[in-house]
Amino acid sequence: MADASWLPDPGGMHELRYWDGRAWTEHVSDRGTTGQDPLPAELPPPSAAVPPPPVPPAAAAPAGGKVGWRDRLKQVTDQGRALADQGKQKLAEQNAKRTEQWANDPDTLWFGESRNAATSAAGVSTARYRITKDRVWIESGLLGTRTESVPLWAINDMDVRQAVWQRGSDVGDVVLNLEDPSYGARADTFSLSGAVEGTTTGQVVLDNVEGPSAVMDLLAPLISEARQKKTVERQSQYLHVNPGTAGAAFGAPAAPPAAPQPDLADQLRKLADLRDAGVLTEEEFAAQKAKLLA
């Protein structure tokens, strides 16, 4: 039984189909671009894994012991072509594994990759995208992989751009405008040089994706919900730091002003009038006066 690897499609519908070591899967590859295609029927298992194409041996030297420049050029060309084919197959395997991982992740709501003339000619994709319930993830690069993520609450606007040549195949760019460039955060950055690559701008573009309008329709309610939750969270944090502003923040009516205190001299004058009128006795007048002056 062959080991898990990409092998020629036994059904003849695609260049390669992924064998997981036990059965054929629905993951296929054509010219280095991976995809999914259900099995048309029960396919026979491979007898053995197909080894990668060998590097062509160096051409034999002429009888005189000298190698001409044409022979050297042919050797380099053949070796480069063989290495390119091996590298392309390796990249196709990596893309297929990543696609399978995202497809089996319950947090994945959508995933896709950049499709344009350059990537089709090279047979590989330079950028892959994934949408979860709270973030947009972007993976880019061939020799090195750079992963960026953008929280959905940081997206305040989005649009779809389609060139004339893109409309025929329903391919386009989904442009995400951010509140602040710092909201786009790199996560898990790797490069061969070890240096941090690129910077985050105030705009993120999912370029050359299939069905861009459907992607925008998927994002719209997710972004709205995420921004509402973020607004409530910010208000709660503000009120926690400034508890005295809770009433004003939620429109509560202000407390009525305190009633003015009566004038002491005026009260004494009224007591004296009541005494002179015979309403209060001298003892009662003295007791009430003592209370006011206490």
Looking up residue 137, the CATH number of its domain turns out to be 2.30.29.30
pLDDT band with cut points at 50, 70 and 90 for residue 218? very high
By mean pLDDT, which of 18-22, 47-51, 143-147, 275-279 is the weakest? 47-51
Is the residue at 14 inside a domain? Answer: yes
Same-domain pairing of 23 and 116? no
Is the residue at 138 inside a domain? Answer: yes
Q: Specify the pLDDT at position 237.
A: 83
Mean pLDDT is highest, among 61-75, 101-115, 202-216, 270-284, for: 202-216
Residue 190, C-beta contacts closer than 8 angstroms, at least 6 positions apart = 144, 145, 146
Is the residue at 114 inside a domain? Answer: yes
Is the residue at 232 inside a domain? Answer: yes
The pTM of the full predicted model, rounded to 2 decimals, is 0.50
Q: Specify the pLDDT at position 186.
A: 46
Same-domain pairing of 10 and 115? no
Is the residue at 258 inside a domain? Answer: no
pLDDT band with cut points at 50, 70 and 90 for residue 84? low
Is the residue at 163 inside a domain? Answer: yes
Which whole number is the average pLDDT over 74-85?
A: 74
| pLDDT surpassing 80 at residue 57 | no
Structural domain count, the chain: 2
By mean pLDDT, which of 121-130, 177-186, 209-218 is the weakest? 177-186
What range does the domain containing 11 cover? 5-30
Is the residue at 172 inside a domain? Answer: yes
Same-domain pairing of 25 and 126? no
Q: Specify the pLDDT at position 191.
A: 37
Mean pLDDT, the chain, integer? 76
Q: Specify the pLDDT at position 184.
A: 54
Is the residue at 85 inside a domain? Answer: no
